[in-house]
Structures are given as C-alpha cells and as structure tokens.
Structure 1
Amino acid sequence: MDAVVDQGISNSEIELILGNSKRNFSGITSTMLQVMSYQKDMIPLRVMGKNNLTEPSLAISFWQVVKMCQHPLKNGKLRIFHARRVDEMIQGVLLKYLFRAKIKLVFSSAAQRKRAKFTCWLTSRMDAVIAMCNASASYLENPPNTIIYHGVNTNTYASSVDKQKAWQSLDLLSPVQEKGKRGIAILGRVRKQKGVHLFVQSCIELLKDYPDYTAVIVGGIATKHEKFTQELRDKITQAGLSQRIVFAGEQDFADIPKIFSSLSLVVALSENEGFGLTVLEAMSSGAAVLASEAGAWPEVIRQGVDGYVVPVNDLAAVKEKMALLLSDEDKLTKMGLAGRQRVEEHYSVEREAKELTHFLKTLV
C-alpha cells in the first residue's frame, strides 16, 4: 500500500490526506465525500480511514500515514492533513508532534458555539484554519485564514421539471395517506433541537386552509426522542391530520435527492447548526426555503427572494411566513427557481473544491 501511495505523486506540488474518523454517516461525511469527488481530480489525495468511502482504493490507515510522512515529498514540500472534526485534529496533532510526521495541519471549522479549552488548544496547533461562513468565523478565538462556503452537487440535487408530478410519483407515503398536489417537508433527525415541533404545530394550524399540501417529517428517531415524537403524533391525531402530516422515518441516503426534487417548500428550523447543508440542497433542488437564523442560513438565503429566514424558536414567525408561502403557488415556484440559480452561481460543490484546493496550494 505504501508504494501505491507514493507512486505517481512524488513530483506533485502538493499531496492531501483527508481525515475520515467517523463510522456513522453524517453531514460532515457528506461534505467531505462531495468535495472529494471533485478534489481528487485536482490534487493527489488519500483518505485516512475507509468509513463510508465509495472508492476504497483511496483509503489509508493512520499507521500508513505515520510511515509515509516521515519524509516530505521529493520536491521538499510537506503533505497536508485536512481535519473537519475535533478527533481528526487530535489525530493530526499526534501525527505531527508525537510521530514527527512532516505535514501541515488544516482545520475546517463550521461550529457556531463557544469552544471548550481543549478544542481551542487543538485549533491553535493548526497551521491554517478555514471557516465555513462568517458566523462560524466569529466563534473562533482568532480570525480564520480564509472563509470558504460549503457547496452542494448541483447535478445530484436538481429540480424536477414538474414538481406536482414528481411529488405524486414519490414512493414516500403509504397508499392510504393523502398526498395532495404538493409536498412540504422538514428533513433531519427528529428532535426538539431541529425545530420539528415548530413545523408540526404550524402545519396543524395551517393545513386545513391549504388542502393542496401534505407535510412530511423525514428523518430517524432516536430512542431518547421517542417521547417527544409521540407527543407530536398525538397532537396531529387530535387535529384530525394524521393523513396529511406524516412521519416518513429515516430514508436511504441515495433517495434523498429525489425527495428534495419533488418538494415545493423545505423548512429548516434548528436552534443551532454548524453550516446546514439542508437549505442548499433544497435550493439546488428548486424548492423554496423557510429557515431559522442558524448556521449559514441567514448568509445564504435572500429574504423574500429564495425564501424566508425567521428568528430561532419563533412559532408565530414560522406560521406567518409559511402561510405567506402556501397561499401563493407562483411565489413558491419563483423562489425555487431563484434559489436554484443562486446555488449554481455561488454554492456549488465544484466551486468549493476549487477554492479549497487553491487555498491549500498556498500553504506549501
């Protein structure tokens, strides 16, 4: 394996090692894989860990990295280790300072919260820090070296030509449930922090006035959140809307783009987010968006153009803006088109890969 790693890259101006420490699939994993799909054609790279890799040949172990990085590249330049998680920063620090690996450490920071002292110390050991948006940059102890916004694959996340037809053909609800003409949804893990209760309560109060819409909650339910979910189910049943406000459960990751492409409105109401790719995926799929002031969403969404941004945990604001959207199908369509154009121009994953690769090349 070591010979394979070195073959054909000894004269490269740069070589990249990507952290990949988490076994379970997550938003960070999705980001890494999407960017990597373009970045691997721009720069020689390997991935430290085989978790969720669609190209296992790129995988390399921690100990293989230790051995490979005892010396710089033949052109004298250092390899770059890119961490996106705290435990990957730990791995990078061990590689560089314990095993004396000849590498430069880069950390991409998306979190929007005050960091623990240990995390701050790890960050201070990085050779460069990248923030995902202005909001995440503001939580760093020191200004980042650069800001590079996340992107999404605009080929994977694309709008259906006919939203209503796509929604009708979507195999998401049971035959006894009412699909309506259009679908609206909130996607992600079902828990209070994600604002699912705000979405459900707003739908309970509004959908009786808008019979063309069916609402779905797409996402897994952890055991500790079953009570919270059951309380929401009970409220829906009491309102007589069990056929129109539906918990669809966790879906296969490969089916998510098809779901997005069929939706007219996607709602994202988290109390906090790192970046929040859901909104970009929805916009790229031609859906209008209604989001809370979390993550990068206030920086991405143009108020009244692509959708609306509302204060965190503000049920009245959610209901007001959702009613405004559901009452005007033309507005929904225009916002979806505007959002798609905005993503194509500013938030594609290919753009992210190019900006990231260009920045990394400045470090060696």
Structure 2
Amino acid sequence: MVGFFRFLRSRGAEGSVASANDFSEIEVVATNFNWRQSGGTTVVVQLVPEQAKMLKIAALGFDLPDQVPRMRWRDVPKLFRRPAHRPFRIYHCRRNNEMMLGILLRHVLRAPLRLIFNSAGQRRHKALTRWMLRRMDAIIATSERSGSFLEVPYTVVPHGTNFEYFHPPRGSEDDYAASGLPGKYAVGCTGRIRHQKGTDLFVDAMLRLLPHYPDWTAVITGRTTSDNLSFERELKSQIAAAGLAQRIVFLGDVEDVSLWYRRFTLFVAPSRQEGFGLTPLEAMASETAVVTSDAGSYPLMIRPGINGTIVPAGDRDALAAAIEPYFREPGLAREQGRAALEFVRDNFSMEAEARRIRAVYDRLWAEGQKPLGLSQKDQQTAAGTKPA
C-alpha cells in the first residue's frame, strides 16, 4: 500500500481538496473510515481517481494519499446542501460505520443524499447490518456469491485492477535475481499473516515441496498484527526445524508489493475466507500464474489449466499437489502467466469497474426520489410516514 501511495504521487498531478467554492460541484462522496491499510482502503485509493475521470467525486476519511480527490471533515455540514447539478449527492460506503453515518445524515437529519453500499462479505450478515442494508438506496455486490448472502436487491460489479501499477516485468530490477535471495524461481504469498489468510497452509506446502526442488524459494510478504505474532512465531519455528529458514522468507510489510509480484514465477492465495480478494488479480496483471483456494471471488478469476489452479479452501494436500507441477516445470508457470495477463486485462479492468458503478449512480439520479432496495414499509418509514 505504501508503494501504491508513492506511485500515485509520482504521476505528476497534484491531488485536490474540495474548497468552499467548488464543493457544490461534488456529485459523489466515497467514504473510507479506517485508519489501517486494508482491502477497502485499497479499493477507494485506486478507484476514486479513475471515477474522477467521469464525474465529480471526493473521498472522505483517513489514510488517503494526495492524489485522491477528497473532502475535509469540516465540510461534512455542506452535505446538507444540494449539489449544483443534481437533485442529490450519492454517498458510497463500504463499512458498517460508514453506513451508520450515512443513515444518520439522510434518514435522521434529512440531508439530500442517496446511499450506496459495496458488499464483498460472503457470510450471513448480523441483524444490525441487515437493518442498515435495508436503508440503502442501492447495493453493489462484488460477486454473485457475495450477493447471495444479501436480502435486498443488488447489482454485481467486480473489482478491477490498476494496470499502471501492476504490470509485467520491464527491466532487470524486476528479475528475481535482483532480490539477492537464493534459487532461480520464487513462489509468493502476500497479505496479512494470519490463519484466515492460510499462511500456515502455504508454509506447510513449502515444507513438503522445497526439499525436492532446490531452485525454488518461497517469499511471504504482509503485516503481522500483534494478535498474530504467536501464529507467525510458530510458523518460523517449524521452518527453522526443517532447516529451510533461508528458503522460506518473511519480508514483512514491503514498501512496493508490485515489484514482488513481477519477481514471482508463481503466486499462491491459500485463504480460508475472503471477501473479494484482490491479490490474484494483481499477480495476474504482473504476468504471474496463480494457485488459489476457492474462497471469496477467486473462482471468478481462475480458468483451471489456462491461467492457474483452484483447490478447496483449507485442503493442505490439495494445495501442495496443485503447486508441485509448477515447481517441476517452471515453463508451465510462464505459459499460464501470459494467459493470466490477457485474462485479467479482458475481464477485470479498473475502467470497467468505474463505468459499471457509474451506471448504478445514473440509475439513482434518473429515478429521483424513489429509494432502491427498500421494502414498501421501509420506504414509508424513511419518508416519515406510517405504513398502511
């Protein structure tokens, strides 16, 4: 994430903050109420600049780089004014705390807003979340699988990939040899170090396979939070006991993960649970073949035998068996990496995501005052009238 923020700043154009004079032009507010770098933050940081090419949008929240068009917290009272050229603003949120503020602003304080929630979760939502979802005017699900857990109408819009930042190797620095690590080939695993992400499954597969394939080294990147330090220590203890500490390397939260995607010959996403799951797309955009579990939206990204392999989530034996053919024949990984690049460019572009979301916005503006995704009873309640 740090590397992506620096990438944005390197593009040359300065970021913008909506001033008192131009805030009336803002049509959409995208929220990011999270101090920690997360998948939701990544989506906002990558997507909002793309959306800004086609409409007036500003992000509201924390940990936003300068390149992202944004509004200040002190400008929140201005949300009670209608935008200059729309009947209402759209408030696009991705977390429960963001929904809460939206509901307060619109349904309690009567701000001229319409509320959209992006849902990536693949589980039954808690009662409070279901109540808030019924008060949204539109729901965007990142996949049909995510949408199947919703009890309100939704539109499917998959996440896209930033092809400027995630791209195939372009020079010697992108070669694995430039890393200084042992071996000829790298197999990578990125993301938070924790049970949910399947880091232990990846380590287990490496403990089985690496003794038989000396040309390969495993590289693990990602932050370890304080509550997962003992989990990481146990993994490192197993690695040391197997004498593989030089060939299963933990790099921590690297500055530029995109560089490592380009250095990987194979990428593994062994998650037990996921919301959407961006990392395989980022690897594929870097011309890297992938092995994934069937968690989250991974099945949408993989064409088995063409651009990668899928295994059941949590299946240690299946994961090791799926990785081994690439270790045995690195040329297979290169071939599937080329197919992966073509596939992700055709199906998961950031431009396509922004365009599909814009269609949802346009539908809301076209329908004017009629809320979407609410029952008749909820619509009457939101309007301040009693149900019949």
TM-score (norm 1): 0.91
Match 2:127 to one of 117, 125, 134: 117
Partner of 2:280: 279
Q: How does 1:197-346 map to 2 (within 5 A)?
A: 197-252=200-255, 255-346=256-347
Structure 1 partner of 2:41: 29
The verdict on how the C-alpha distance between 1:220 and 1:300 changes in structure 2, with shifts beyond 3 A counting, is same
Relative distance call for 1:149 and 1:212 in structure 2 (3 A) is same
Residue deviations 1:304-329 (CA, integer Å, cap 9, x gap): 11111110110110011011221111
Question: Residue 50 of structure 2 corresponds to which residue in structure 1?
Answer: 38
CA, structure 1 residues 165+5, in 2 after alignment: closer, same or farther (shift >3 Å)? Answer: closer
TM-superposition CA deviations, 1:115-150 (whole Å, max 9, x none): 110000000000000000111011111231x10000
One-letter identity of the residue aligned with 1:353: A
8 A Cα contact 1:265 1:288, kept in partner: yes
State the shift of 1:237 in Å. 1.4
Conservation of the 8 A alpha-carbon contact between 1:20 and 1:49 = yes
- Deviation, structure 1 residue 64: 2.2
Matched with 2:94 is 84
Could you list the per-position Cα deviations for residues 210-257 of structure 1 after superposition, in whole angstroms to 9, with x for gaps in the alignment? 1111001111122222222122112111211111111111112xx111
In 2, Cα distance between equivalents of 1:164 and 1:39: 32
How far apart, in 2, do the equivalents of 1:85 and 1:225 lie? 23
* Equivalent residue number for residue 195 of structure 1: 198
| Cα contact 2:174–2:262 (8 A) shared by 1 | no
For residue 182 of structure 1, report the CA deviation from its aligned partner.
1.1
Aligned-residue offset at 1:53 = 2.9
- Structure 1 residues 330 and 164: alpha-carbon distance in aligned structure 2, compared to 1, 3 A threshold: farther
- Judging changes above 3 Å, is the alpha-carbon distance between structure 1 residues 103 and 165 closer, same or farther for their aligned structure 2 residues? closer
Which range moved further: 209-218 or 115-124?
209-218
1:130/1:148 contact within 8 Å kept: yes
The answer to whether the 8 A contact 1:180-1:212 is kept is yes
Output the CA distance in 1 between the equivalents of 2:144 and 2:246: 41
1:134 to 140, 144, 152: 144
Check 1:58–1:106 CA distance in 2 against 1; reply closer, same or farther (3 A cut): same
Alignment equivalent of 2:60, drawn from 48, 53, 66: 48
Q: Which residue of 2 aligns with 1:96?
A: 106
Q: 1:346 and 1:45 mapped to 2: Cα distance?
A: 25
What is the deviation of 1:164? 9.9
Q: Give, in angstroms, the shift of residue 20 of structure 1.
A: 1.7
Q: Distance in 2 between matches of 1:48 and 1:75?
A: 21
Deviation at 1:165, TM superposition (A): 6.3
**AA partner of residue 20 (structure 2):** D
| Matched AA of 1:136 | S
Query: SS of the residue aligned with 2:80?
Result: coil
Pairwise CA distance, 1:346: 0.8
Range 125-134 or range 324-333, more displaced: 324-333
State the AA in 2 paired with 1:338.
Answer: A
Match of 1:181 among 184, 192, 198: 184
* 2:357 alignment partner in structure 1: 356
Q: What secondary structure, in the 3-state scheme, does the structure 2 residue paired with 1:184 have?
A: strand
Question: What's the CA shift for 1:52?
Answer: 2.1
**Residue 82 of structure 2 is aligned to residue 72 of structure 1:** yes
Q: Percent identity?
A: 34
Kept in 1: contact 2:133–2:152 (CA 8 A): no
**Cα displacement (A) at 1:100:** 1.1
Aligned equivalents of 1:163, 1:151: Cα separation in 2: 28
| Matching residue within 150, 155, 167 for 2:176 | 167
Q: 1:75 to 1:233 in 2, by over 3 A?
A: closer
The residue type paired with residue 205 of structure 1 is R
Q: What is the identity, as a one-letter code, of the residue corresponding to 2:33?
A: S
> 1:68/1:293 Cα in 2 relative to 1: closer, same or farther (>3 Å)?
same
Task: Tell whether the 8 Å contact from 2:119 to 2:141 is kept in structure 1 after alignment.
Answer: yes
One-letter amino acid of the structure 1 residue matched with residue 44 of structure 2? M
Per-residue deviation, 1:70 = 2.5
Partner SS for 2:281: helix
Aligned length: 347
Flag the 1:333–1:292 CA change in 2: closer, same or farther, 3 A: same
Structure 1 unaligned blocks of 5 or more: none
Decide whether aligned partners of structure 1 residues 37 and 73 sit closer, same or farther in structure 2, where only a CA change above 3 A counts: closer
Instruction: Write the letter of the residue equivalent to 1:190.
Output: I
CA contact (8 A) 1:190 1:221 kept: yes
Q: Who is 2:161 aligned against? A: 152
